[in-house]
Amino acid sequence: MGGDIDLLLTITDKDKICQTPFKITLLNCGGESNEGRSKAVLPDELINSMALYPNPAQNELHIAFTAVSNDSEIAIYDLTGRLIISYAAKEPKGDWTLSLNNYAAGVYVVVLFEHGQVVLQKKLIKD
């Protein structure tokens, strides 16, 4: 058994209904397909709700974001899970410029939160 399933996630927040469509691809469990794992396919508007550039970055990083609400936060973690820095967004759309001069070269995780919940994670490479 395998195939695509279209889902619609509905969330109610302060009497406001928000819906996000997404697709899950179920792979065959009989050992015939792609490593036996399922994958979630997120809608483009969610994937594009945060852009990191340049990436890889050397001295400066720009994070452009579009959130649903004013209760958003962007956080950067190292690969041990340690919080490096966070930014509380005052508007649902904006651009955050961050100096990377004091950060070690390596891989970091940039997380977009809304209402304290993870919305999106992206990988940042610091050269």
pLDDT tens-digit map of 74-118: 999 999 999 999 999 888 888 999 999 999 999 999 998 888 888
d(CA 6, CA 21): 7
Confidence tier at 29 by pLDDT (50, 70, 90): low
Q: Is 80 exceeded by the pLDDT of residue 18?
A: no
Q: Is 80 exceeded by the pLDDT of residue 44?
A: no
Per-chain mean pLDDT for the chain:
79
Residues 47/50/55/59 CA torsion (nearest 10 deg)? -170
Predicted structure pTM score: 0.65
Give the bridge partners for 4, in sequence order.
25
- For 113-125, give the secondary structure using H, E and C: EECCEEEEEEEEE
d(CA 94, CA 74): 11
In the chain, what is the straight-line distance between the N-terminal and C-terminal CA atoms, in Å?
Answer: 44
Confidence tier at 52 by pLDDT (50, 70, 90): very high
Angle at 23 between CA 62 and CA 47, to 5 degrees: 5
Confidence tier at 45 by pLDDT (50, 70, 90): low
- Residues 6 or more apart whose Cβ sits within 8 Å of residue 59: 99, 100, 101
d(CA 55, CA 114): 23
